[in-house]
Amino acid sequence: MQRMRAQELELSKLILVTSTLLGSGFILANIALSILLAYQVTQFPISSTTQVTSAFGTTLFLVASIVLIILGVFLILGGVYFYRWGAPEGIISLGILLGSLYVLFLGIGSALLQGSLGSFLLTFSGILFMIGSAAYLSANFDFKLAGSLTTVGAGVLLAAVLFRTPVLGTAFADWDVPFPGPFMCMSFLEGILMIFAPAVVFADLLIRKRKDESTMQIFFPIITLVYGMGMFIGTIFLMLNLWNLLWKAPWLGPLYNVPQWVSGATVFFSVTLIILAIAGIFLGVSSFLAFANMTQEMSMEEGFSQTLPSRKLQHQFHREKETRDEFASLRDLISSSPNRSGHLLTPRRREEEKDRKKF
């Protein structure tokens, strides 16, 4: 038991470090991304309705980056809260709503920039995520179930977009850089997780409705493990492509003849991706340890449940033994109770009484 408590303490410390790195990476990367998006907005001449619409769509991408900065702050606060007091349910709820708002802004911005079917699906998925998250946070179990099912549908729509289009690349179409998904994970893996994670939550609720306990929570460390791997690969790949643009900037490419502060923001953005890559490694390690702890606890509970029948039999045996002893004591008490003459009915006196009654 003490060993398990020590493992939980070490895991909570690791989660604190992971959430701090992840939140710091989101904050710093989106600060740099906001600077680059602000520069993109200034490059649209206000000469036609199309240019104004594109500028407004890029501005919504800028607002989405600010929302993700706030989400990074909540990640750091959630890690500190988890280390000191336990699971931060309120912070997690606000984080889910902020993530839904982030996807909604990206969807509207993409619709204004491209007007494609994928951008409208992205917008609709953001709306469904907000509705489903709000319903899931309700105290009513039926609302939770409906909200969870809604997020499954939203995840399917978002995955359909991620499988086809790099969402962040919509605002940097001339860069020709393979951007990762909206949450800095590989687009393909992020799309799979957007389906799998809400489905696990929905299945967990269904099992809890029929039973008191569910084992579906063991899939959550697997989800974060895959997310950490995808974040590491996606951010490293993006960083290498940004360095390639910076290397070609003096001669050609989208960074050719740009102001110095734009090149500096690009360098800063590529450096922040290293922080996210390290956070992905820590996320994978902490998820693996969490999965190991959960399987160990489940095996201990299973072993304890297997010993319960023998304990019940032992308890029943002791109760039957106590009952037999009570009956034996009561029989001895009756056999040794006094008769009318005040003498104890010992076996010899009992025989004398029978002979006296015969005569």
Which range in 5-19, 38-52, 234-248 is most confidently predicted, on average pLDDT?
A: 234-248
Residue 266 phi, psi (nearest 5): -70, -40
Stronger pLDDT, 310 or 324, i.e. the higher one: 324
The answer to whether residue 284 is domain-embedded is yes
The answer to whether residue 77 is domain-embedded is yes
* Closest alpha carbon to 5 in 314, 296, 344: 296
Report how far residue 103's alpha carbon sits from residue 118's, in angstroms, rounded to the nearest whole number. 13
Stronger pLDDT, 294 or 351, i.e. the higher one: 294
Contact of 57 with 110, CB cutoff 8 Å: yes
Mean pLDDT of the region 166-195: 90
Report how far residue 132's alpha carbon sits from residue 36's, in angstroms, rounded to the nearest whole number. 32
Mark whether 52 and 128 lie in a shared domain.
Answer: yes
- Position of tokens 């409705």? 209
Structure confidence at residue 165 (pLDDT): 84
Among 13-17, 54-58, 345-349, the least confident range: 345-349
Among 41-45, 82-86, 168-172, 344-348, the least confident range: 344-348
pLDDT at 352 over 80: no
One-letter identity of residue 66? I
- Position of tokens 């690791």? 14
Stronger pLDDT, 300 or 339, i.e. the higher one: 300
Mark whether 68 and 133 lie in a shared domain.
Answer: yes
Structure confidence at residue 345 (pLDDT): 47
Structure confidence at residue 340 (pLDDT): 43
Mark whether 157 and 229 lie in a shared domain.
Answer: yes
Report how far residue 265's alpha carbon sits from residue 226's, in angstroms, rounded to the nearest whole number. 29
Contact of 174 with 224, CB cutoff 8 Å: no
The answer to whether residue 175 is domain-embedded is yes
The answer to whether residue 7 is domain-embedded is yes
Structure confidence at residue 236 (pLDDT): 95
- How distant is the alpha carbon of residue 300 from its chain centre? 24
pLDDT at 346 over 50: no
Q: Domain count for the chain, please give it.
A: 2
End-to-end CA distance of the chain: 77
Mean pLDDT of the region 87-110: 89
Q: How far is CA 52 from CA 57, 109, 174, in A?
A: 9, 12, 18
pLDDT category at 180 given cuts 50, 70, 90 is very high
Residue 256 phi, psi (nearest 5): -75, 130
Mark whether 315 and 291 lie in a shared domain.
Answer: no
Mark whether 95 and 168 lie in a shared domain.
Answer: yes
Q: What residues contact 294, with CB distance under 8 A and at least 6 apart?
A: 217, 218, 221
Stronger pLDDT, 265 or 322, i.e. the higher one: 265
Report how far residue 83's alpha carbon sits from residue 67's, in angstroms, rounded to the nearest whole number. 25
The answer to whether residue 188 is domain-embedded is yes
Mark whether 173 and 69 lie in a shared domain.
Answer: yes
pLDDT at 342 over 50: no
Contact of 4 with 10, CB cutoff 8 Å: no
pLDDT category at 214 given cuts 50, 70, 90 is low
What is the Cα gyration radius of the chain? 34
Report how far residue 22's alpha carbon sits from residue 272's, in angstroms, rounded to the nearest whole number. 11
The tokens of 193 are what? Answer: 């997780």
Mark whether 328 and 253 lie in a shared domain.
Answer: no
Mark whether 267 and 337 lie in a shared domain.
Answer: no
Mark whether 83 and 7 lie in a shared domain.
Answer: yes
Mark whether 63 and 193 lie in a shared domain.
Answer: yes
Mean pLDDT of the region 315-330: 55
The answer to whether residue 305 is domain-embedded is no
pTM of the predicted model as reported, rounded to 2 decimal places: 0.80
Structure confidence at residue 347 (pLDDT): 47
Structure confidence at residue 341 (pLDDT): 45
Structure confidence at residue 308 (pLDDT): 46
Mean pLDDT of the region 108-121: 88
Buried b (16+ CB within 10 A) or exposed e, 146-176: bbbbbbbbbbbbbbbbbeebbbbbbbbeebe
Domain boundary among 254, 274, 300: 300
The answer to whether residue 210 is domain-embedded is yes
pLDDT at 141 over 90: no
Domain that holds residue 343: 310-358
The answer to whether residue 66 is domain-embedded is yes
Mark whether 202 and 320 lie in a shared domain.
Answer: no
Sign of CA dihedral 339, 340, 343, 349: negative
pLDDT at 92 over 70: yes
Report how far residue 242's alpha carbon sits from residue 248's, in angstroms, rounded to the nearest whole number. 10
Instruction: Count Cβ atoms below 10 Å from residue 359 Cβ, excluding itself.
Output: 4
Q: What percent of the chain has pLDDT over 70?
A: 80
* Closest alpha carbon to 11 in 195, 354, 302, 286: 286
Q: What percent of the chain has pLDDT over 90?
A: 50
pLDDT at 14 over 70: yes
Report how far residue 208's alpha carbon sits from residue 3's, in angstroms, rounded to the nearest whole number. 29
Convert the pLDDT of each residue in 217-254 to its tens digit: 788 899 999 999 999 999 999 999 999 999 998 888 88
Mark whether 139 and 173 lie in a shared domain.
Answer: yes
